[in-house]
Amino acid sequence: MSLRWHELPIEIVLFIVAHAARSALADNISWLTQLSLVSRAFYDIVTPVLYATLVVTGTNGTLVRAVTKETRLMAYVRKVCLAAASNSSPWQWYEVPLSNSNCFAGVDEVIFLSNRTFPSFLRPRRLDMHNIPGLNIACFDLKGPLHLFPQLTHVYLACPSMAEAHIFGLPESLHQLPRLTHLAMDMSRESLDPPTDTAFSERVRNMLSVILETTDGQLEILALRVAGKMLARWDSVVRVVAGMRDRRLRLWRDDRIGNTTSLRVQDARIGRDVWTEAKQL
Ligand SMILES: *[C@@H]1O[C@H](CO)[C@@H](O)[C@H](O)[C@H]1NC(C)=O
Ligand SMILES: *[C@@H]1O[C@H](CO)[C@@H](O)[C@H](O)[C@H]1NC(C)=O
Ligand SMILES: *[C@@H]1O[C@H](CO)[C@@H](O)[C@H](O)[C@H]1NC(C)=O
Ligand SMILES: *[C@@H]1O[C@H](CO)[C@@H](O)[C@H](O)[C@H]1NC(C)=O
């Protein structure tokens, strides 16, 4: 029996359109844009999906500018994904936040794909600064910027290098985040001076213990993403985490290959992140 579309309640048809829109976010934004132009009803469904994540690259400043001036569109923006190089367009136009200081109020999450200063008009609850090309951020060097964002609940940073036994700045930084419930660290880069497996395991265990002790029951999730070169250490990480028997610990073995920048943008759009992927052992 063939499907008789006109017999479906309109809500179901619209639901299907919304579903199609969300699945096209992964790989076909231009199709999605076309879909939004089909009819007013489609536009109303597709637009919030299309604008939920605002991707800022070094070359689309003009487009981003146009969006930020549209209060109606900005109302849909929940995530800002900053891929533009440090201090390049469009974030030099200080007139944006000044002329419409509330336009970023709905932004809950900021994802950095490049090394740059934090735009002060963003006040996210979720911050992702992991894996920034060319910048081997020992994450807690971010102590300075982090204390400006006491509202953060979810923080995702690069894991400190395991080349040294000491984790500089870590407890101090955690004390600056009173609302933090979710902390994740990205292990994808091996130290320049890689420690032996035994030393590595000891240091990972020590770091996780320090974090859990410092935060004193405040953390709900402490996640590690293991990827890239660090996949060679997967077994060690699993042994450490299994041995600690702490239900707050989560692991994500991310063995996808490809352009990490594109993967992160795609993940941002479809809502895949360390919080959705990291699992208990
Ligand atoms: C996007 O969708 C259009 C229309 O269905 C199709 O022609 C095009 O090949 C798709 N592009 C990709 C990258 O899948
Ligand atoms: C900026 O460019 C990227 C990459 O081409 C694109 O994915 C994104 O949607 C653009 N942002 C806007 C607001 O058009
Ligand atoms: C990152 O940005 C800061 C401040 O803009 C700058 O001092 C530093 O040199 C940059 N680091 C890299 C690796 O580009
Ligand atoms: C990865 O993709 C981004 C945007 O899609 C592009 O600008 C960059 O050059 C790519 N990097 C590599 C190493 O191919």
CB of 28 shorter than 6 A to ligand 1: yes
**Reported confidence tier of residue 191, pLDDT bands at 50, 70, 90:** confident
From the alpha carbon of 34, which atom of ligand 1 is closest? Answer: 4
Q: What is the pLDDT of residue 179?
A: 94
Cβ < 6 A, ligand 4 pocket: 259, 261-262
Please report the pLDDT score of residue 95 as a whole number: 47
106: number of Cβ within 10 Å: 13
Q: Which of 99-108, 223-232, 240-249 has the lowest mean pLDDT?
A: 99-108
The two structure tokens encoding residue 56: 């800022």
Cα 192 to ligand 4 centre (Å): 24
The stretch 133-138 carries a mean pLDDT of: 59
217 lines ligand 3 (CB under 6 A): no
Q: Is 57 in the pocket of ligand 2 (CB under 6 A)?
A: yes
Q: What values do phi and psi take at 199, rounded to 5?
A: -65, -40
Is residue 220 over pLDDT 90? yes
Distance from residue 32's CA to the centre of ligand 1 (Å):
10
Ligand 1 contact, 31 CB (< 6 A): yes
Residue 135 DSSP code = B
Which distant-in-sequence residues (6+ apart) come within 8 Å of 113 by Cβ?
81, 82, 83, 132, 133, 261, 264, 265
Element (H, E) at 173: helix 170-175
Position 66 scores a pLDDT of: 86
Q: What is the pLDDT of residue 239?
A: 98
pLDDT of residue 94: 47
Q: Is this structure's pTM higher than 0.85? A: yes
Element (DSSP H or E) covering residue 156: strand 154-158
